[in-house]
Structure 1
Amino acid sequence: MKCFERLVKDYICSSLPSTLDPLQFAYSPNRSTDDAVCQVLHATLSHLDNRGGGYVRLPFIDFSSAFNTIVPSRLAAKLTDLGLNTSVCAWILDFLTDQTPGG
């Protein structure tokens, strides 16, 4: 199953529109958490340089259990809105709700 899941992930990533937020680092080709850290560091240092010192507040939120809070129907609707193939969205919904596809 892992191999198939990887194929689905690759399909989804290649199907996402290029109009996604440029600060979206997850599941973006050639982007990583290192890029996100560099972006935050650059923005922070630029702000401090432009203000001649001062301070910066950075809230950090731990989303380690975020997957457990996904509402599958909302995710499928969002993916459909992004233009993902409706059959793939239906498969994802079935997968996340532990249903047999097509039944």
Structure 2
Amino acid sequence: MLKTVEMIIDFRRTPPALPPLSIMDSTVAAVETFKLLGSIISRDLKWDTHTAKKAQQRLYFLRQLRKFNLPQELLKQFYSAVIESVLCTSITVWFGSVTKSDTRRLQRSVRTAERIIGVPLPTLRELYTSRVRKRAQKITLDPSHPCYPLFELLPSGRRYRATNTRIARHKNSFFPRAIYLMNS
């Protein structure tokens, strides 16, 4: 079984028909969705929120720990390690294009955990913002990073050059969002 698959991402109204891809006389299978590092990506770049189901399943363990009267600090650490880590898997990639209903569904897991633990927890938007800011700062400090040139300082040296775009898909993607956060 070959691990290589082909997924064509094309947003044109009438994409051209392409011949099948072959590698060493073996045709590569074309797929509609693909699982990459635990995240499911589809041809239209809609991100499957399978993480909501995983987070809901793990809330059971948080409830069980609460029944054993664990201190809030330990419950919060468990939440961060086991539930928040699932919710934040690739959040810098998918959060900008997730629908409001999917965001509400994911945020419901956070609110449920808040009720179980009894302390306020960061929202998904706050988690997304902090992760984007951290990743952007790492990129700006590493000149060998392939995306380093995208973070170009203006002549004043205090703000980064913003990318101009009218397409919502691009406006909500990582780089415009990261530059906006780095400038604010």
- TM-score w.r.t. length of structure 1: 0.35
Q: Which structure features the higher share of strand residues?
A: 2
**Higher-RCO chain (CA-CA 8 Å, sequence separation at least 6):** 1
Q: Which structure features the higher share of helix residues?
A: 1
User: Which of these two proteins has the greater Rg computed from alpha carbons?
Assistant: 2
